[in-house]
Each structure stands twice: as C-alpha cells, then as structure tokens.
Structure 1
Amino acid sequence: MAEAGEGRYEIASVISRSFETVRSNLGLFAGLALILSGVPAFALNLWQTSFGVNLNAAQPDFSALLSAAYLGPLFVGWLVAMVTNAVLQASLTRATVTHLSGEKPVFAQCLTVGVSMILPMIGIGILLALGVGLAMLLLIVPGIILWLCWSVVVPVYVQEKVGVIEAFGRSMALTEGSRWRIFLTMLLVLVGLWLLSIPVGLLTVAVAATGSVIAVSLVTAIVSALGSMVMVTVQSCVYVELRNVKEGVAPADLEAIFA
C-alpha cells in the first residue's frame, strides 16, 4: 500500500505516456535502437547462422559449439552487445525524460549521455543480473519482486546523477507501494509486444522460406531492437510516474531539479 498522502500510480498514464513519447520521437528512438541494438544483433545473428550449427537438428554438432572458432567470436559479440545495450538504455532514458520535460531530445546529445555512462551502466546491468538471477535460483517470486524493486534503477542513475549503489536504494524507495502496479504495467506491455510478434513471426517464416540468411537475421534484429526501445521507454515513464505520485514532481520539473 502507498503511504498516506501519496498519489496513485496510474498504469494507463504510464502506457499512454510511453507510446506518445515514442510516437513523437519515432525517428530518434528507432535510430538509437537500430544502431545500438539492431546492428550488433544483426551481425551476431548473421554470424551464428552462417556458422552452420543447427541446434534443431536430430544430432546437432555440439563439438562445433565448443570450438574456439565459435566461442571466440560469440564472446566478442556478447561484449559488444553489452556495451551498446548500456549506451542504448542511458540514451533512450535521457531522451524520454527530456521529451516529458517539454524539451526536444537531440540525437547527438542523447548519444553523448549514453557514451559517457558506459562503465557505470555496465556495472548496473551486471549487478541487476546477478541479484535477480540469484533470487530466481531460490524461487521465481523473489526474483520478480527484486526486479520490481530495482525496475527504475537505470532512470534513477541517468537522471539523478547518484552513485551506482545509491541508485539501487533509490529505486527501492521509489517503487515501494507501487510494485504490483509496475508488474501489471510491464505485463501489459509484454503481452502487447507478444501479440505484435505473431504477425512478425509469420513474416519471419515467410522470409526464412526464401533461404536468405541475411533477410532472416535482419528481421530478427529489427524486432529485437524495437522491443528493447519500447521496454526502456516504459521503464523511464514508470520512473517519471513514480516521481510524480510519490514526490509531487511533475514531468516538466524534472530537468529543472537535476540540471
């Protein structure tokens, strides 16, 4: 339950705000997502497909999967994806908050913010994965609860200019009393993305039927990048909503407070 005197977290407000933000800045958001997530994913998908290991075969060649020729580039690709994903999260978070503050986000400025935060963003990603992963090993529910507690750690760090550890504590404080609504928000967004994935899946099957490895890798990468774009934007809007209902900070005031 929320504490007395606090506002009410509105799921509809978060979702509508998220998609209005994307719609108003589609070129910027899609551009960031495709460059920072789509391109690395496309390269990795293309390489894995062209390597020729078929995991769906009756007797897949696992020796090839354990070879240095496969694991080496896979590890490099994973490192590149980790770095670009960190930049993407910070860049899109900054772009979302800037838009909701009434200003026009600029590609170069948002990308610069993302690049400047590479190392701490990677640290946040590792700590988040380790914490939630370990909690998931105990039971699914504790892992979900911990993820909800830390669900706005990225926008907290990007916007409030606090330390990494402090950002985790701040996220826990902001989400307190609203976690089940945050869960429903994310669930609705995931269901929406799943429904949209059905026609995309049919398109992928049709593309695969052509035998074009490049086309299949391209479609898969684009879908993955745009899904990441939506999720990061929603998390940023959750943060903005929490600041509003818990502290009375309107979106237009966020930039002034932390300028």
Structure 2
Amino acid sequence: MATPLPAPSWTVTSVLERSYTLARDNFAAFFTVAVIFGAVSLVVNILSLGLLAGLVGLVCSVATSICLTWGTLQAIAGRKPEWEPMLRQLQGPMFGRLLLLGCIQYFVIAVSAIVVIGPLFLIPLWAVTIPVMMIERADIGGAFNRSMDLTAGRRLPILGAFLLWFVIFAIGAIVIITLLGHGALGSLVMWIYGALAGIVVHTLPAIFYVLLREEKEGVSPAHVVAALD
C-alpha cells in the first residue's frame, strides 16, 4: 500500500496570495498580454462569427495561458518578465505543441461540464500540463501523464484554489452584468475585467508546478526554471 503524503507545506490561501502577488507585481506586462489576446476574442465575438468565434476564443485563451505561464515561471525565478518576451513565446519552437495540448485540455474540460462533475475531476488532474511540457519538453501524452503523477495526493487543494478564484471572479462578473447589462459598455468592462481575472488565474499552473516539484522531488524553484534558459 502506498504511503500517504504528509500535509503540504503550502495552503490554498497561501497559493491564492501568491498568485495575486505575482499578478500585482507584474501587472503591466501580464495585463498587456491578456488584453491583446482578449481584444482578438472581443472583436471576433462582436462580428458574430459563430463557431469560428468559439475556436478563436479557445486559441486565444490557450495562448494567454502559455505566455503567462512562461512569465510566471520567470517571475518565480526572481526575474522581471516583460510583455514582449512573453508574446515571443508564440514564435518558440514548442508553441505549436503547447497550443495543441492546451486546446485539447480546455476543450475536453469544457465538454466534461455537460456531466457537471467532469471539470471538478479534470481541472486538478491536468493542472500543470503546460508547465510540464514547457520545462520538461514532454510530448502531449507525456504532459498529461506527468501532470497526473505530480498532482496525485494534492488534487483537492489544487481544485480549491481554482474554484475559489472562479467564485470570486464570477461574483464580480455578475455584479458588472447586473449594473451594465450586455451592451457595448458592459462588454467593454467585461473585457477588461476578464483580462484582470486572467492574469491571476493563469499564474496557478506555474505556481503549482514549482511547488509540487519542490515538495515531491526536492527540486528548487531556481533549478526548475533554469530549464527555460
């Protein structure tokens, strides 16, 4: 029988605080990246392109996650990420594979929402797939498997962090829609609000990846991020 893991040295609250701090300290760069991709999605939605709008929105969400994951890893290493190097990840040799990985992951999680319980199982299971591929150069199958290995025994607090941010930002979105409606002003404010929420939530995969590597394998954050050099 496998020996149960001891209680983690981190808590859901400490992770939320760290994600907020990283977003705050790197606000200009993170927000610029999120707004750029959000603007593309906003324009496509305004044009009412149907299924194409959904596909573009999916790709923009994944691209945002890739760029902000890279930026978060840099920030964890004590560097100051800038928006231009983050956007240049779109030209990186692994971007196509990372994009495909993220699109598969996001799509499957979205479809799993049909049975309600699906996302609650898959989100923590696949929480660190993108940083796994980015740091360890894993293929798509390897990234999913490695994420499942790293998150084993820690999925409930991981899910808790994602859910708490979701609830907090969902309440804010409800307030905005109630006050401003779905018109032009409401859409503009929601675009900005979505970008603000994104720069916080998209830091979580990198944070959890570094914490889990340190906890389970004794690998320091500096050593983890050194693979990006």
Please give the TM-score of this superposition, normalised by the length of structure 2.
Answer: 0.85
With CA pairs under 8 Å and 6+ residues apart, which has the higher RCO, 1 or 2? Answer: 1
Larger radius of gyration: 1
Name the structure 2 match of 1:58.
none
Name the structure 1 match of 2:90.
114
Cα offset for 1:198? 4.3
- Select 1:242's aligned residue among 199, 212, 220: 212
Secondary structure of the corresponding residue to residue 29 of structure 2 = helix
What letter matches 2:122 in structure 1? L
Name the structure 1 match of 2:27.
26
Percent pairwise identity: 27
Please give the per-residue CA displacement for 1:67-94, whole angstroms capped at 9, x wherever unaligned: xxxxxx3333333333322321111000
Residue 127 of structure 1 pairs with residue 104 of structure 2? yes
Range with greater deviation from structure 2 (233-242 or 114-123): 114-123
Name the structure 2 match of 1:57.
none
Q: Aligned in 2, Cα 1:47/1:89: closer, same or farther, shift over 3 Å?
A: same
The CA RMSD measured in Å over matched residues stands at: 2.7
Counterparts of residues 1-259 of structure 1 (less than 5 Å): 3-4=4-5, 7-37=8-38, 39-48=39-48, 73-116=49-92, 117-129=94-106, 131-132=108-109, 139-141=115-117, 143-205=119-181, 213-259=183-229
What letter matches 1:147 in structure 2? I
Contact 2:128 2:209 in 1 (8 A): yes
What letter matches 1:40 in structure 2? V
Q: Aligned in 2, Cα 1:80/1:250: closer, same or farther, shift over 3 Å?
A: same
Cα offset for 1:133? 5.6
Contact 1:157 1:163 in 2 (8 A): yes
Q: Aligned in 2, Cα 1:134/1:188: closer, same or farther, shift over 3 Å?
A: closer
Cα offset for 1:30? 0.6
Please give the per-residue CA displacement for 1:138-181, whole angstroms capped at 9, x wherever unaligned: x5435522332111111212232221211111100110000011
Please give the TM-score of this superposition, normalised by the length of structure 1.
Answer: 0.76
Q: Aligned in 2, Cα 1:97/1:200: closer, same or farther, shift over 3 Å?
A: same
Matched residue count:
227
Query: Unaligned 5+ residue runs, structure 1?
Result: 49-72
Q: Aligned in 2, Cα 1:8/1:142: closer, same or farther, shift over 3 Å?
A: farther
Query: Unaligned 5+ residue runs, structure 2?
Result: none
In structure 2, what is the Cα distance between the partners aligned to 1:75 and 1:254?
Answer: 39
